[in-house]
């Protein structure tokens, strides 16, 4: 970027003013927004849903291939996804960031452009936050607040035996997007100046860099009077998430490999890299799709929606958590999701 304004030239309060000067309130429930000790919300007659996520440079993202605008967008999305996973509608976020002095005001502007784009698209108000220095790296902490009609929230722990297991969208592409970006980073570092060869893999790269949250699925539930029996968002891979549902619901499950939705371009690219596309879907993570269970009686309501795949069903706990492969073999599901501490 051509211009570079030092953050110290604005000071903390000047920076906050600068970053929030075009911040507009969209929701009637937002009474007091940015600029006081706290925000005030009025979710009259609704229950309030709260979730929070931290994103740390070098752990959750790499600024070598993550544009700041995409990062701002994604840091909002991953939190909204958690709100939708409760069958709730996000209304507000707080955004706290810590950054070292290598960041300029222009860089933060780019980041906030993504934050505001996500807020606009999902009709969410930015109501507060904190800005701080860091000794090293960029750290993001978002809290999202949503609302849900009383007792219409959906937990992880309430799946019942016989329920159908469903997922939205397709799985595994975000992991493949990350894989290609990591590969090209390595090539670039080894042979400086070589331009990355992204092989027109816009779909999988987009799935990683600029995920969306499944607002449409929650709206489909409301329009069709469906309340899932349990729900979770897929951030660590299908396998890890269904194991959460089964553990908390005290059930088992059967998933069918052939039913797991994988995008065609993702599948082709996985074969090219000699990775199993099913492994990407089970353990890849970062898809931000919804995994949910429904009563069998709701089958007819679901089947018309092309964005939803039925991938298995809930069984007794003693039967364990199983995957039936295309070849007809049965494997125990294990959580190989990304573990930040290993």
Known binding-site residues equal 37, 51-53, 60, 82, 112, 129-130, 156, 233, 235-236, 286, 338
Contact between 37 and its own copies by CB under 8 A: the answer reads yes
Shortest reach from residue 132's CB to its own copies, in Å: 5
Contacts by 5-9 with C-beta closer than 8 Å and gap 24+?
5/104, 5/105, 5/106, 6/104, 6/105, 7/99, 7/101, 7/103, 7/104, 7/105, 7/108, 8/101, 9/105
Q: Which 67-96 positions form the footprint of its own copies (CB under 8 A)?
A: 82-83, 85-86, 88, 92, 94, 96
φ, ψ of residue 122 to 5 degrees: the values are: -105, 10
Number of residues that bind its own copies (CB under 8 A): 73
Residue 185 interacting with its own copies (CB under 8 A) = no
Do 312 and 163 touch, CB atoms closer than 8 A? no
CA torsion sign for 196, 202, 203, 209 is: positive
17 binds its own copies (CB under 8 A): no
- Please measure the distance between the N-terminal and C-terminal CA atoms of the chain and give it in whole angstroms: 36
At closest approach, how far in Å is the CB of 148 from its own copies?
7
Nearest to 76 by CA among 55, 45, 107, 101: 55
By CB under 8 A, residue 157 contacts its own copies: yes
Under rule CB under 8 A, residue 160 binds its own copies = no
Query: Which residue ranges are tagged as binding site for substrate?
Result: 60, 286, 338
Binding residues for Mg(2+) are: 37, 51-53, 82, 130, 233, 236
Taking CB under 8 A as the criterion, the residue among 4, 28, 50, 272 binding its own copies is 50
Q: How far apart are CA 17 and CA 11, in angstroms?
A: 10
Q: Which of residues 204-263 bind its own copies (CB under 8 A)?
A: 231-233, 248
Residue 333 interacts with its own copies (CB under 8 A): yes or no? no
Which of 133, 296 has the CB closer to its own copies?
133
């Amino acid at each position: 970027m051509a211009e570079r304004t030092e953050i110290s030239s604005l000071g903390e309060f000047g920076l906050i003013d600068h970053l929030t000067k075009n911040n507009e309130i969209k929701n009637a429930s937002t009474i007091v927004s940015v600029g006081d000790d706290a925000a005030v919300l009025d979710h009259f007659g609704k229950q309030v849903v709260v979730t929070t996520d931290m994103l740390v440079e070098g752990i959750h993202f790499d600024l070598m291939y993550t544009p700041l605008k995409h990062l701002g967008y994604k840091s909002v999305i991953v939190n909204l996804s958690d709100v939708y996973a409760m069958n709730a509608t996000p209304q507000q976020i707080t955004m706290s960031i810590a950054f070292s002095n290598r960041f300029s005001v222009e860089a933060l502007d780019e980041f906030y452009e993504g934050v505001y784009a996500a807020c606009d698209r999902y009709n969410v108000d930015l109501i507060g936050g904190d800005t701080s220095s860091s000794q090293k790296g960029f750290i993001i902490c978002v809290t999202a607040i949503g609302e849900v009609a009383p007792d219409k929230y959906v937990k992880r722990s309430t799946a019942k035996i016989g329920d159908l297991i469903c997922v939205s969208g397709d799985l595994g592409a975000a992991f493949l997007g990350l894989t290609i970006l990591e590969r090209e980073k390595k090539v670039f570092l080894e042979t400086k100046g070589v331009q990355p060869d992204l092989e027109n893999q816009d779909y999988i790269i987009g799935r990683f860099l600029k995920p969306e949250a499944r607002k449409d699925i929650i709206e489909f539930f409301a329009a069709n009077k469906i309340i899932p029996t349990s729900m979770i968002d897929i951030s660590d891979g299908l396998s890890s998430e269904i194991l959460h549902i089964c553990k908390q619901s005290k059930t088992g499950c059967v998933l069918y490999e052939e039913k797991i939705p994988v995008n065609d371009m993702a599948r082709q690219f996985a074969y090219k890299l000699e990775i199993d596309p099913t492994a990407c879907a089970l353990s890849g993570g970062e898809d931000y799709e919804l995994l949910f269970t429904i009563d069998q009686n709701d089958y007819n309501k679901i089947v018309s929606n092309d964005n939803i795949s039925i991938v298995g069903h809930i069984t007794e706990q003693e039967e364990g958590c199983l995957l039936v492969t295309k070849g007809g073999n049965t494997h125990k599901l294990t959580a190989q999701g990304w573990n930040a501490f290993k």
